[in-house]
């Protein structure tokens, strides 16, 4: 969790973080790109209580849901309208949080270790030598309403209230663009909603997100019923489908 707080603080301190488009010169150099998605291996249930003593998080493995494959396929189908998308093999275990980011840092250099992982574990493959850029989906976080608590990645958040709890389904991820030759990160693109929202009433709110009812919630991942898991799964797929084109436009990768 502290790693995500550091990332958020770094982005807030630098106005260019996650907002700038790639410039025309960089885009002109992109002929071949590769897609990696390691954003949705885990589902996180976040409880934000009235006091910090009641806050809680529960995580569970949802790799079998195929959300990362869905993100990768959708990215590929969109990007191949403009670029040659080169398929690459990778192991999600090589892209864990502690391997792809720095706990402290600022701006795009936060993701420098991500480039190192790509260089070591992906770029040595046959056919990868002339890839110009890697488009990598990684999970991120967002503040919850007017609290100092954060919801992470793909999951469900419950904001406890005396009268009626509020529930949110969210898919928080960034697209990090990494140079395919120097392996330096170039841009960190996230989807933003310019208007305040109930979930995060400030201009740093990450989206996609949807307000849902209590039927999506359980006190732990293990307690989610098959029906709930399917409902969450389908809801997250829709959030990805609806939100991902905005990332590509925001970064200038598509018009």
Q: What is the pLDDT of residues 125-145, one digit of tens each?
A: 988 889 999 999 999 888 887
Kindly state whether residue 49 falls inside one of the protein's structural domains.
yes
Q: Which two structure tokens, joined as six digits, stand for 46?
A: 């976040």
Q: According to the model, what pLDDT value does residue 106 have?
A: 64
DSSP annotation of 140 reads -
**pLDDT, tens digit, for every residue of 189-243?**
886 665 566 676 665 555 688 889 999 999 999 999 999 999 999 999 999 999 8
Q: According to the model, what pLDDT value does residue 88 have?
A: 96
Kindly state whether residue 46 falls inside one of the protein's structural domains.
yes
Kindly state whether residue 255 falls inside one of the protein's structural domains.
no
Distance CA 218, CA 232 (A): 11
Confidence of residue 7 (pLDDT cuts 50, 70, 90): very low
Q: According to the model, what pLDDT value does residue 4 have?
A: 46
Residues sharing a CB contact under 8 Å with residue 137, sequence separation 6 or more, in sequence order: 36, 37, 38, 39, 40, 68, 71, 72, 75, 173, 174, 175
More confident position, 18 or 33: 33
Residue 9 above 50 pLDDT? Answer: no
Of the segments 41-55, 79-93, 140-154, which one has the largest average pLDDT value?
79-93
Q: According to the model, what pLDDT value does residue 70 have?
A: 98
Kindly state whether residue 87 falls inside one of the protein's structural domains.
yes
Mean pLDDT in residue range 28-44: 95
Q: According to the model, what pLDDT value does residue 39 have?
A: 96
Q: According to the model, what pLDDT value does residue 16 have?
A: 38
Mean pLDDT in residue range 13-23: 49
Confidence of residue 10 (pLDDT cuts 50, 70, 90): very low
- C-alpha angle 109/112/116, rounded to 5°? 170
Containing structural domain, residue 12: 2-250
Kindly state whether residue 225 falls inside one of the protein's structural domains.
yes
Q: According to the model, what pLDDT value does residue 192 have?
A: 66
Mean pLDDT in residue range 80-92: 95
Residue 3 above 70 pLDDT? Answer: no
Residue 74's closest CA among 170, 175, 219?
Answer: 175
Confidence of residue 153 (pLDDT cuts 50, 70, 90): very high
Mean pLDDT (the chain) is 85
Residue 158 above 70 pLDDT? Answer: yes
| C-alpha distance from residue 238 to each of 71, 128, 136, 166, 254 (Å) | 11, 31, 20, 20, 20
Q: Assess contact for 36 and 136: CB atoms under 8 A.
A: yes
In the block, tokens 């006091």 appear at: 51
Domain count, the chain: 1
Kindly state whether residue 160 falls inside one of the protein's structural domains.
yes
Kindly state whether residue 92 falls inside one of the protein's structural domains.
yes
Distance CA 117, CA 185 (A): 12
**pLDDT, tens digit, for every residue of 89-124?**
999 999 998 899 886 656 788 899 999 999 999 999
């Amino acid at each position: 969790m502290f790693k995500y707080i550091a990332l958020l603080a770094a982005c807030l301190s630098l106005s260019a973080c996650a907002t700038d488009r790639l410039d025309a010169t960089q885009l002109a150099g992109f002929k071949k790109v590769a897609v990696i998605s390691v954003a949705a291996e885990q589902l996180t249930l976040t409880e934000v209580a009235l006091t910090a003593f009641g806050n809680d998080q529960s995580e569970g493995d949802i790799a079998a849901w195929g959300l990362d494959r869905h993100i990768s396929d959708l990215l590929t189908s969109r990007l191949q309208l403009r670029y040659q998308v080169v398929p690459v093999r990778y192991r999600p275990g090589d892209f864990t949080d502690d391997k792809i980011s720095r706990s402290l840092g600022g701006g795009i250099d936060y993701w420098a270790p991500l480039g190192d992982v790509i260089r070591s574990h992906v770029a040595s493959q046959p056919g990868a030598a002339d890839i110009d850029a890697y488009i990598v989906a990684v999970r991120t976080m967002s503040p919850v309403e007017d609290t100092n608590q954060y919801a992470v990645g793909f999951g469900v958040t419950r904001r406890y209230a005396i009268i009626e709890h509020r529930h949110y389904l969210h898919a928080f991820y960034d697209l990090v663009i990494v140079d395919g030759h120097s392996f330096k990160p170039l841009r960190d693109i996230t989807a933003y909603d310019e208007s305040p929202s109930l979930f995060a009433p400030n201009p740093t709110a990450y989206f996609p997100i949807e307000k849902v009812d209590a039927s999506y919630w359980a006190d732990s991942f293990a307690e989610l019923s098959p029906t709930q898991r399917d409902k969450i799964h389908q809801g997250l797929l829709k959030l990805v489908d609806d939100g991902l084109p905005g990332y590509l436009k925001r970064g200038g990768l598509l018009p």
